[in-house]
Structure 1
Amino acid sequence: MSWHIEGTYFENCNCDMICPCTTSGLTAPADNGRCMVVLAFHVDSGDVDGVDVGGLTVCIVADSPALMGEGGWKAGVLIDAAASAEQAEALVAVFGGQRGGPMAGLAGLIGERAGLQTAEISYSDDGRRHQVRAGDAVEIMVEDFVSPFDPTGQGVKVSGVGFPAHPPAAGTAASSRVSAFGMTWDNAGKNSFSAPFAWSA
């Protein structure tokens, strides 16, 4: 069986703008001693083995060594409480990398699987500002950066990045609070990326 999903994503980590981890394909160290990141994916439309997963959101919370490519990540997954058991199983398989696709490459870097939780998740994206709230665990709002010298107003995009949600727009977090799976931080003012994605396998 096959699957296809598409939607929008954003992430916020504790690197300064612009995160060297993502822009180097995980071969350059983070700006700080560890990388603390949340990736939020909203599926606008999608089908996994005949299961409709449109309208649902997944958040991945991770803490890794500064050189992310070396592995040893601690990661947990927050699944939209609006998902049925069948939908949740499908999303976990895709975003956990078990069904192949882009997340399969990241799955091998996880040394500690911190768990899976459901949460009431709200997600919004107006093309410039991106916001997610997952129960009491995650509350983040980021905004893409637009250079005052850019007459197009299109914002700063990063090209040549291997992560398959592209081209990512660079920005910073207006607010960022995380307390999930034993990981707690506030990354307000720190790096963000956002982009549409369309994946299949």
Structure 2
Amino acid sequence: MAWQLSGTYFEHCPCGMVCPCTTSGLTLPATAERCTVTLAFHIDAGTVDGVDMAGRTAVLVNDTPRLMSEGGWRVGLYVDDGATDEQFAALAAVFSGQRGGMWAAVSALVGEMLGAERVPITYSEEGRTHRVRVGDAVDMEIEDWVVPGADEVATVTGMTFPAPVLALARSTRSHVDAFGVRMDSPGTNGFSGPFAWAA
């Protein structure tokens, strides 16, 4: 059966604004020595094999070479502990690329899966601020960027992953110590936006 998921997401990495990895389609190197990007996805609606996924949150922790297109990514997955066994297995299959779609292309770059766990996750959005806490492993907050003198959040368009339009953002809280991947990079890059995928 097909799957479809939609909701909101945000990410944070140690690159300076604006991250060249995402905006170049992974063809330009990160500004940091390695990319330790963490992505949080909150699902508002969708199903996988007919199983409702509304309300679930998934967080991907990634450690990759400076040029992400080289592959060899190390990836760990967290799903909120409200997920049933069926939901957890389905989301792990989607985000590992086993169910096709855009994540199948991403999975070709993964060299090592570091694990998949269900843990308490708190995901919240308030105006331009996006926050996620994953147990004791991740505490991350970004704020969408408004250029001085402007009235609207700055965005980049024409993107392919993970959404076509991304709001530029800056981290205001940054702590990741998950699956052996560590990042503490306040003041660096972030993106946010709605997503909608299907396969």
Q: TM-score, normalised by structure 1?
A: 0.96
In structure 2, distance between residues paired with 1:126 and 1:45: 19
Describe the SS at the equivalent of 2:123: strand
Structure-2 residue corresponding to 1:24 = 24
**CA offsets 1:20-67 (integer angstroms, 9 cap, x no match):** 000100000000111111000000111111101110100000111100
Structure-2 residue corresponding to 1:197 = 195
Structure-2 residue corresponding to 1:187 = 185
Amino acid at match of 1:111: G
Q: CA deviation at 1:82?
A: 0.6
Q: Would the alpha carbon gap of residues 127 and 96 (structure 1) be closer, same or farther in structure 2, given more than 3 Å must change?
A: farther
Structure-1 residue corresponding to 2:168 = 170
Matched positions, count: 199
In structure 1, distance between residues paired with 2:24 and 2:162: 14
In structure 1, distance between residues paired with 2:149 and 2:161: 27
Describe the SS at the equivalent of 2:82: coil
Structure-1 residue corresponding to 2:144 = 144
Task: Return 5+ residue gaps in structure 2 as ranges.
Answer: none
Amino acid at match of 2:183: W
Amino acid at match of 2:188: K
Q: TM-score, normalised by structure 2?
A: 0.97
Q: CA deviation at 1:154?
A: 2.0
Describe the SS at the equivalent of 2:170: strand
Give the fraction of aligned pairs with identical amino acids, expressed as a percent: 52
Q: CA deviation at 1:127?
A: 4.3
Structure-2 residue corresponding to 1:99 = 99
Q: CA deviation at 1:164?
A: 3.7
In the TM superposition, structure 1's runs of 4+ consecutive aligned residues that sit over 2 Å from their partners are none
